[in-house]
Amino acid sequence: MRITVVRGDITTQQVDAVVNAANERMRGGGGVDGAIHAAGGPAILEDCIARFPNGLRTGEAGLTTAGDLPARWVIHVVGPNLNAGNTDRSKLTSCYSGALAVADELGARSVAFPLVSAGVYGWPLDDAVAAAVDTLEETPTQVEEARMVAFGDRAYVVLERRISAL
């Protein structure tokens, strides 16, 4: 699998699936979650309600339609909220390996990922990047491209440095 990095908006990525950094309720929220729900339209929320009436637990992954997004699917993952005391790094890495497993079930060949938990959930940027890139590199998958989408300059620089060292 090829791991790439771009600076930009995950909602505009021309890929088979985009990964959403969701919350446990699966009803939309802020950050990446809010942007995906806003750009994808009401079909994403309707599918979340139908497929996840009780939400998802931290570290889990599940899929919905992508609604109006250019991608075909949204793979929702729930990262650990460090600011709420969830320090279990394995929950963070399971977001990436779980998303790849869902992508493989779907036959997705290109997947765009945000840096899960690195925003409002407070995970330190350097470790969020290490967890993402190492897990993507080590997880067996049929996905051909895992595209890391950095929203800010600092995240882009840290991702670029880590990926270029592979």
Q: With H, G, I as helix, E, B as strand and everything else as coil, classify residue 62.
A: strand
Q: Cβ(92)–Cβ(123) under 8 Å? A: yes
Longest distance between any two alpha carbons in the chain, whole Å: 42
3-state DSSP of 101-156: HHHHHHCCCEEEECCCCCCCCCCCHHHHHHHHHHHHHHCCCCCCEEEEEECCHHHH
The catalytic site residues sit at 33
Q: Cβ(129)–Cβ(115) under 8 Å? A: yes
Which helix or strand (DSSP H or E) is residue 84 part of? none
